[in-house]
Structure 1
């Protein structure tokens, strides 16, 4: 354990330990350069000499640095100090989700849906980068005092492309949240994470995990042998639609689970809608199928059918082609008599040869004195352009290198004299060579005003996207994160930069109010303190008095002073 006051990497002063894990110890520290609190995960001393552990720890560094999302703990720095491997991360005050459930159970259904939606958003981002967490559990989900959630600990996450270091025969992760295929020792997939998410949702609604046992093995056996207990037997008020999300996410066969986290999110968001009241319970189709007896095929039948199937294409592809052979009869006609060549005196021959030489030399000299057109070498590589100009009997002069948005780097833009212009042979032709499109160097936009930074980037040619986040460290409108690192050089055209903007410490994530009643919307507005702007429109799809749409959309972090527009259905428009 490191003592308080120890300066790690010459930059981070340790304040106190905040947690211990299987691989590392976590400390709260002060970043002396940026003057902010950070969390530092340090690989345990007893594991510093274990190559496999160091590799896994370094894999966490690589995996986490790819992920930039409001619901994923940000990684700021990685390094080594006196043999100690460490990762510097965003510090999230508050408790983990396990402790939050213990302190706040029972949690309102709408709050469970909101919190679970944030967790799903983070996992969806990881899956989009080919990263499977493999150890999703409430202990790895942090809950900030604002209620905002962030996933951490990618220590045993695995990139799909890193097949050489996957551990297919090891049951990694906490057994209470382990998928059946992981319990059997199979490789984890995205559907394995979805199973763990279903167990987390179960615990948020019931306050406990579905399976308990005296040993890890006994719990693992229950995951692939026993059905998930019904949450509605524990709390009958839980909507069937909400229980169905759990049942489908935790189906024993991965093929029956949600095909993606995005599909699970879409289903979860509508579970509290009045339109899903009376929904039937999800039942596994694979587990309920009757055992089918396949007809017996003996060796003779198999051999006969195989022979028939092999013979058929052969006969189909066999055709008889008959060609006529026409023999050419030898003719007995006598060969034509060659013409008699006229004899030339040697004097005449010599005279003609001299005349030919004189004509050729005269033509060559005259041709060399005539100016010729400069060849078109635009778009060629520099070396090929030089060869082309030299073949046209020009000398190649110095090359000027300039930026060009339309010509690839290393290729010719133009020449002087220009293409097609006539010049004397052996005269000098100069070239302008492209260095490619002009690059832009990104700055560190953290803590700057979003409006000014967005205007600056758009002027440079970037596309700017904005996401919001609740933050205690940054005021409303300040940039918390950027999707591309400071110092990165790139061509602005066609590039998008996502800026994560703070809505202040008192902000919150907006719930999906689709199909809510007007009274529920007003109650929600009063409880959260935002200004409600009601509009009305006709809709044949949404019943009268229910919410058709909202702006901003669900999941957006907004300040309590925000103005939220909600469109209420008037029902089907009356016929004229």
Structure 2
């Protein structure tokens, strides 16, 4: 779906500075766009509050608090905030643009991660939160959606919109808890309060999800999740992914303990524990490949649907202690009761034969089960060996040693090295006939598309060529270049011939044409100024309103951009024409004291020069007589005796 047809901000220049280029994501409180700062010529992310919330002063305050809080955290793992402002009904934050994806995107696409990858991501998150905790701040909304992973591998924590100072009251004044249900600590749900240990708890849930590919307390609705959160511990991840190291179970248990007193005190303490666990684990434990998880069908490209557990929501401060179904009428079973012969009833006839038939069926069923077990364990079946990440030759040898045949298919993989096994069918440990065939999927390595050479090509055509090559036209920046025609591509980032994954964005650097130094035309007549600028290759725009100035009427009072500025051919210079000096009536100060006369003349808009003949301090003459008119800002001389 083309969002440009539905989103009025795309293509709009916000606050006269930020040109909105594309929508990145939609959240519960705001929409994030990719935008260009036209003043500094840089790409950034623009977070714009939904207009329906901008009328709420508390939400606007929270937005501004995010800017101030994030600006305090100059840390490489924190998304930087550059600016904050408003334009009509739009309230926005201008933030660092991170090209890549979120941790939620990774989990949705890949499911569980190897422990090494999960711990490395967590360490970067904790480094960011540790900086916040040391600064006396609590994030309060840690979740995979707020963990950004750049194309260069950098991990950054975003969205400090719920941040609060540790030593301030942390429950909302309305008695509500703001956050995301799946990652709220029990004390946030019960009491609406949060300190650094609430962020620690959320990190424990995120770690569990990275290790297993699923949330620890799925419930379908926020109420069910809340009930389980308050009454159940986070289970050990090895219960979902057998074979995970016990140290990982212990780390999750300590981090996501229901009692905040049992958790590490803050992200700094937890970071030390995570590093200790990672160093203690063997390589095979860190690199264990978890089973693939199916993608979450409920989550769309812009994030979870409304009402989902992953949305930032407002919840009642006190959650009900009873389970969601408490108070509902008891269900009446519709299953028939077992037949019991009544005393004295004859055992012959149709009714008497039913128990006998049931007994015979049960015996036959038991015999069938026994035969099945014997058949499965009699050597007719075996189990598929584990060969994931092995080389093709190693995997074939392992399959043959298990007495099985193999066949090979090949596919691209972003995560598995070329020539190694991505998957098997049947999967590892599954039963297969003793003479069966295992399909080995061998990695071709990452699929790559070569960036076409579009240097010297007009921008619109260059975009078409990138799309035809299977790539996405990315952000556009502009530079002066006398050798490349204005509006045509100078180069691409990455450069032509570089391999990129299909659908990856390619940035374009477009020529502004030859560099032109803007001439100074202030004080010249409008016609002369227009001619000089046009001859320099510039367009001219004249402001409709004239202004008072020291310049003669009909001449240029000011220009934008001014003298010495650098522009490109075809750029516009705006001229403002002078009405001449503003004439002001001069006060009569004859007979006043020097100080009083100076004050009166300055208040009227004049400069004052004093000449003294004697030292009595009384004005006896002035250069422009009282009641006459003189240009505002001009100098009036007074004589004092």
Q: Which TM-score applies when normalising by structure 1?
A: 0.46
Q: Which TM-score applies when normalising by structure 2?
A: 0.42
